[in-house]
Chain A
Amino acid sequence: MTHWLIVPVLLPALLGPLMVLWMRHDLLQQRVFGVIGSLLILAVALKLNTMAADGDVHVYRLGNWPAPFGIVLMLDRLAALMLLLTAVLALAVQLYAIGSGWDRKGWHFHSLWLFQLMGLNGAFLTGDAFNLFVFFEILLIASYGLMIHGGGPMRLRAGVQYISYNLAGSTLFLAALGTLYAVTGTLNMADMAERVAMMPAEDTALLRTGAVLLLLVFAIKAAIVPLHFWLPSTYANAPGPVAALFAIMTKVGVYAIIRFFTLVFPQDSVIETIATDLILPTALITLTLGQIGVLGTRSLTRLASFAAIASIGTLMIAVARFDTPGLTAGLYYLIHSTLAGGALFLVVDLIAARRGGDFWLRLRPAIRNTGLVSALFFATGIAIVGLPPLSGFLGKLMILSARQADPWMPAIWSVILVTSLIALVAFARAGSILFWKSHEMDPEPGNDTDEGEPPAPGPIPTKLETDEPIQDVDDSAAPWLSFMATGTLLAGSVALTLFAGPVTRYLQDTAIQLNTPELYHESVLRRQEGSR
């Protein structure tokens, strides 16, 4: 039994408290250790990916207890992929937070960041349903802290809403787990799957209730439409880099749906097509409403928030049937939308900071570095809308071809294609307001000093005043780092296009592995080689 599996959870769990205890007044040390922590997690995620690439399901038994009784962590291709994606996004966005000076706006940014990573990694690795709940809570607690980082009345109010909604979601999660435990008598996912498969069809009323409750919980996390109300205000009021990290948070919900409805409640079990029947129509509505929101909004941060909702809609359309081509396309789109969504929030933050904290879509004098910022916005828009040559195009194409033989094919194709057009119009409008029309206005008095001497870099002040909605560009420690971080995420989208062949083959293997859950049962329950 290898101990690598627990490192992504243990490392931030140890480093976070150490940072709070010993570096609370030294921002430079926090930054250094925060980035080192993220780098180490990235390295471990790469290592775990090479481990998972052999197609086996690796199991780590905590305390070496045999499986249905002890808690297990399990690593398959999907979990490894999500770990890697999280690590890449977190590192890039953390660099952005340092470069733009966002991490100076309050205390403990970097330790909260590590706790967030701990929760995310744990949620991806765990093989126990109640343990999943605990890791959800950990990542949520950290996200509450990060969401109100910087303070201000609007952000606090949005935070209260966010917490209330998620708390209600958590109680629902417990209710679902309680129901499932009462029916199956176990919380280990593999064990639960076996018992669900053995259950006679006429006794499954309560089981179905539990499964649908669970689906609702994950739909709240993923912001699928009737349950999406928390997202726009929360993401629009969160600090830019935090919202960018949250791009992976909605994907946790999608991950949990994929995990549960391929492993525990597969289509051919007593649950039948209950998930598909619910998910596909709501996914179509999610996509439509999301893109209409993108077009209808008057604020940049909300534009990015609604784009996040729309990406979830597209993603759920792809995975709704839980078949191999759909899952392959969905996972490809998941990687793309996480990178592109994160980049969009960062670009929006770049723009807003250069407009004196004004994130409303209205005419303002031209901003400094217009060329670079507008190029980034252009590229991100292309990626989000799904135009060639970036990965959004390939992702949507794969989804369309995966759903070619579907009975719902006309609805799916028309919704995806029409909403893409709506998004294209929305982004073109936003871009022309922000960058083209602004040239017709007189430049602001303070904005022509860009060529002058930059202020000498003094010692980093530990903390700035908190009640500003947005980070001012003059406070940014290293603007080049912000640009580099945004560029990195976009480069990820480019790489995803260039290496689409190998990536798709890998994802196809992942989807096949997901659709053969017997391997899980085998690895978790039978092969107890590490335990007595």
Chain B
Amino acid sequence: MELLVASAIGATAAAGTYLILRLRTFAVVLGMTMLTYAINAFLFTTGRLVVHMPPILHGHAQVDVADYTDPLPQALVLTAIVISFGMTAVVVMMALGAFIESGDDHIDMPDDDRIMPKLKTVDDPALTEDETA
């Protein structure tokens, strides 16, 4: 079981990392989702992997700690899932907005962000035409 879980986490994380390094927003969002899945599964395993054991104490009978699994990672995973889910929704909306506003879905910044544009002057018809086009 340990091998299966570990390799699943590793494969998902690797795929996620690869996708994040792509240039398009869709791939990056997808990669981010896979990476958060991998991290959530990883968080779940931090309390050690056990089967057939509940995380919640029940009844007032004799309680043996060895009969229970660590509840804290499960609480952490729950929080992490909620946060990463919300964050993915935010990044999808933002990516959509950026795509609609700027016309392409590249993740890197266009040249206008670094290179000084020419000053617009009234006696430069070519430039003003370029602007309206």
Residue of B whose beta carbon sits closest to that of A154? B113
> What distance in Å separates the Cβ of A429 from its nearest Cβ neighbour in chain B?
15
Within 8 A of B (CB), among A123-175: 130, 134, 137, 141, 144, 148, 151-154, 156-161, 163-164, 167-168, 170-171, 174-175
Binary per-residue interface labels of chain B (70-109) against chain A in the complex, 1 for a CB within 8 Å, 0 otherwise: 0011001001100110110011001101100111000111
Q: Which of A156, A181, A360 contacts B117, CB < 8 Å? A: A360
Within 8 A of A (CB), among B5-39: 20, 25, 28, 32, 35-36, 39
> What distance in Å separates the Cβ of A528 from its nearest Cβ neighbour in chain B?
20
A48 at the interface (CB under 8 A from B): no
Residue of A whose beta carbon sits closest to that of B98? A156
Provide the residues of chain B in CB contact with A171, threshold 8 Å: 32, 35-36, 39, 84
Interface centre among B35, B80, B119 (most CB of A within 10 A): B80
Interface centre among A148, A153, A237 (most CB of B within 10 A): A153
Q: How far is the CA of A164 from the CA of B72 in the complex (A)?
A: 28
Provide the residues of chain A in CB contact with B108, threshold 8 Å: 161
Find out whether the CB atom of B43 lies under 8 angstroms from the CB atom of A163: no
Find out whether the CB atom of B32 lies under 8 angstroms from the CB atom of A167: yes
> What distance in Å separates the Cβ of A529 from its nearest Cβ neighbour in chain B?
25
Provide the residues of chain B in CB contact with A106, threshold 8 Å: none
Provide the residues of chain B in CB contact with A130, threshold 8 Å: 76, 79
Binary per-residue interface labels of chain B (26-67) against chain A in the complex, 1 for a CB within 8 Å, 0 otherwise: 001000100110011011011100000000000000000000
B116 at the interface (CB under 8 A from A): yes
Find out whether the CB atom of A178 lies under 8 angstroms from the CB atom of B42: yes
A47 at the interface (CB under 8 A from B): no
> What distance in Å separates the Cβ of A288 from its nearest Cβ neighbour in chain B?
20
A437 at the interface (CB under 8 A from B): no
B125 at the interface (CB under 8 A from A): no
Find out whether the CB atom of A237 lies under 8 angstroms from the CB atom of B101: no
> What distance in Å separates the Cβ of A195 from its nearest Cβ neighbour in chain B?
14
Provide the residues of chain A in CB contact with B45, threshold 8 Å: 182
Find out whether the CB atom of A161 lies under 8 angstroms from the CB atom of B109: yes
What is the total number of residues of chain A having a CB less than 8 Å from a CB of chain B? Answer: 39
Find out whether the CB atom of A154 lies under 8 angstroms from the CB atom of B32: no
Q: How far is the CA of A299 from the CA of B112 in the complex (A)?
A: 11
Q: How far is the CA of A174 from the CA of B47 in the complex (A)?
A: 14
Provide the residues of chain B in CB contact with A179, threshold 8 Å: 46
Provide the residues of chain B in CB contact with A177, threshold 8 Å: 43, 76
> What distance in Å separates the Cβ of A165 from its nearest Cβ neighbour in chain B?
10
> What distance in Å separates the Cβ of A106 from its nearest Cβ neighbour in chain B?
12
Q: How far is the CA of A362 from the CA of B36 in the complex (A)?
A: 45
Provide the residues of chain B in CB contact with A134, threshold 8 Å: 79, 83
Q: Which of B80, B91, B97, B107 contacts A167, CB < 8 Å? A: B91
> What distance in Å separates the Cβ of B83 from its nearest Cβ neighbour in chain A?
5
A130-B79, A181-B73 are known contacts. Are A164 and B113 too (CB-CB below 8 A)?
no
Residue of A whose beta carbon sits closest to that of B44? A178
Within 8 A of B (CB), among A156-213: 156-161, 163-164, 167-168, 170-171, 174-175, 177-179, 181-182, 187
A25 at the interface (CB under 8 A from B): no
**Contact size class for B?**
35 or more
A154-B112, A163-B91, A236-B113 are known contacts. Are A178 and B46 too (CB-CB below 8 A)?
yes
Q: How far is the CA of A326 from the CA of B14 in the complex (A)?
A: 40
A154-B112, A160-B94, A236-B113 are known contacts. Are A167 and B87 too (CB-CB below 8 A)?
yes
Within 8 A of B (CB), among A206-226: none
Q: How far is the CA of A449 from the CA of B75 in the complex (A)?
A: 63
Q: How far is the CA of A209 from the CA of B113 in the complex (A)?
A: 37
Provide the residues of chain A in CB contact with B103, threshold 8 Å: 153
Find out whether the CB atom of A181 lies under 8 angstroms from the CB atom of B113: no
A523 at the interface (CB under 8 A from B): no
Provide the residues of chain B in CB contact with A167, threshold 8 Å: 32, 36, 84, 87, 91
Find out whether the CB atom of A362 lies under 8 angstroms from the CB atom of B76: no
Q: Which of B46, B79, B116 contacts A181, CB < 8 Å? A: B46
Binary per-residue interface labels of chain A (56-90) against chain B in the complex, 1 for a CB within 8 Å, 0 otherwise: 00000000000000000000000000000000000
A488 at the interface (CB under 8 A from B): no
> What distance in Å separates the Cβ of A310 from its nearest Cβ neighbour in chain B?
19
Provide the residues of chain A in CB contact with B119, threshold 8 Å: 362
Provide the residues of chain B in CB contact with A159, threshold 8 Å: 94, 98
A178-B42, A362-B116 are known contacts. Are A160 and B72 too (CB-CB below 8 A)?
no
Q: How far is the CA of A153 from the CA of B109 in the complex (A)?
A: 10
Find out whether the CB atom of A161 lies under 8 angstroms from the CB atom of B107: yes
Q: How far is the CA of A154 from the CA of B45 in the complex (A)?
A: 41
Residue of B whose beta carbon sits closest to that of A175? B39
A156-B98, A168-B20, A171-B36 are known contacts. Are A299 and B91 too (CB-CB below 8 A)?
no
Q: 6 closest Cβ contacts across the A-B interface?
A: A153-B102, A153-B101, A156-B98, A182-B46, A178-B46, A178-B43
Binding site for A on B (CB under 8 A): 20, 25, 28, 32, 35-36, 39-40, 42-43, 45-47, 72-73, 76, 79-80, 83-84, 86-87, 90-91, 94-95, 97-98, 101-103, 107-110, 112-113, 116-117, 119
10 contacts between A and B (CB under 8 A): A154-B109, A156-B97, A156-B101, A164-B28, A171-B35, A171-B36, A178-B42, A178-B43, A181-B47, A362-B119
Binding site for B on A (CB under 8 A): 130, 134, 137, 141, 144, 148, 151-154, 156-161, 163-164, 167-168, 170-171, 174-175, 177-179, 181-182, 187, 233, 236-237, 298-299, 360-362, 467
